[in-house]
Amino acid sequence: MPTTTTQLIEWLARFDELIQEQRGYLTDLDSEVGDGDHGANMSRGLAAVAASFAENPPEFADELAKSIGMTLVSTVGGASGPLYGTFFLRFGTSAGHTTKLTPIEFSDALAAGLAGVVERGKPERDDKTMFDAMEPAVLAFRTGLVDGDVRYAATLASHAADAGRDATADLVARKGRASYLGERSVGHIDPGAASTALLFQALSETLGQEAA
C-alpha cells in the first residue's frame, strides 16, 4: 500500500500538533544547552506549514514537500530552520512528481532528506544533534521494510528516534550553540533530537491510523 500525498499532509498536521503540545518542553531543553528558542522556532514554523495546507495544497509529492520545506526555511530561523527545511526540500526532489509513493520510494525520500541535513549541518554521529535521532530513524525505516509494511517500518523508525534522542543526554555537544558549553552539555537531551523524535512519532501515528 503506497503512501499518498494526503498522508504527507496528515503527517505534518500531526507533527504540528505534537510541536505545539511540546513547545514548552523543547524550549526548556534549549534553555539548558542553547538559547531557549527551539520551542518558539518550531512552533512558529509548523503553525505556518499547517496554515499553508488551508488554501488547497499541491497534489504532487515533490511540490508539496518543497512548499513544506520552503515554509519551514522562511519561518523557523535559527539552526533548525535550514535543517528541517532542507530535509523536506530533498525529500521532495527524491519523491518526484507523483501523488503516490511506494514504500521504497518513501524510504528513499527519507534518506534523501537525511542526506540534506548532513550536507547542511555537517553533523557527525554523537555530535549531540537532531542527526543522532534522525539517522537511526531513517535506517530503521528501511530495515523495517525488509520484513514489514510502511506501518511497521514507521513504528521501528519512531522507536529508533526516541532511543537516539535519549542517547544524546550522555553526549558532549560538538555542534551548534550547545557546543560552547563543552562538558557542561552532558546530562541534557538535545532539543533538536527531541523535535526529530516527534517528527517520526507523527509519521508512525499517521501511517498506523491509515492501516488500522
Partner 1 sequence: MKKLINAPEDVLAESLAGFAAAHREVRVDAATRVVYRADPKPHGTVALLSGGGSGHEPLHAGYVGFGMLDAAVAGQVFTSPTPDQIVAATNAIDTGAGVLHIVKNYTGDVMNFDMATELATGAVETVVVADDVAVENSTFTAGRRGTGLTVLLEKIVGAAAEQGRDLAEVAALAWLVATSGRSMGVALTSSTVPAAGRPTFDLPDDEMELGVGIHGEPGRRRVPLASAHEIAGMLVEPILADYNFGGAPAVVMLNGMGGTPLIELYLMFGEVKTLLEKAGVVVARTLVGNYVTSLDMAGCSVTVLRADDEILGLWDAPVNTPALRWGI
Ligand X SMILES: Nc1ncnc2c1ncn2[C@@H]1O[C@H](COP(=O)(O)OP(=O)(O)O)[C@@H](O)[C@H]1O
Which C-beta is closer to partner 1: that of 22 or that of 41? 41
What track of x and - describes contact with partner 1 for positions 70 through 89 (by CB under 8 A)?
x--xxxxxxxxxxx-xx---
Q: By rule CB under 8 A, what string of x and - marks binding of each residue 22-41 to partner 1?
A: -------------xxx--xx
Query: What are the cell numbers at 8?
Result: 504527507
Position with the least CB separation from ligand X: 192
> Which of 190, 197, 198, 201 is the binder for ligand X (CB under 6 A)?
190
Q: Is 77 left (phi over 0), alpha (psi -120 to 50) or beta?
A: left
Least CB distance from residue 20 to partner 1, whole Å?
16
Which amino acid belongs to residue 21?
A: E
Q: How far is the CB of 64 from ligand X (least distance, A)?
A: 23
Residues 6+ apart with CB under 8 A from 31: none
By CB under 6 A, residue 135 contacts ligand X: no
CA–CA distance, 192 with 66 (Å, rounded to integer)? 21
**184 is in the binding site of which of partner 1, ligand X, Mg ion, none (Cβ under 5 to 8 A by kind)?**
partner 1
Interaction between residue 176 and Mg ion (CB under 5 A): no
Strand partners, 4: 100
CB of 130 to partner 1, least distance (A): 12
- Give how many residues touch ligand X by CB under 6 A: 23
Q: Least separation, in Å, of the C-beta of 11 and ligand X?
A: 20
- Do the beta carbons of residue 143 and residue 156 sit within 8 Å? yes
Among residues 161, 168, 147, which one has the least CA distance to residue 196? Answer: 161
List CB contacts of 184: < 8 A, sequence separation 6 or more.
none
Closest CB to Mg ion among 29 and 153? Answer: 29
In order of 8, 13, 34, 74, the CA distances from 44 in angstroms are 19, 14, 18, 10
How many of the other CB atoms lie within 10 Å of CB of 137?
29
Instruction: Write out the residues near Mg ion by the rule CB under 5 A.
Output: 30, 34-35, 37-38, 78
Instruction: Write out the residues near partner 1 by the rule CB under 8 A.
Output: 35-37, 40-41, 70, 73-83, 85-86, 120-121, 172, 174-177, 179-182, 184
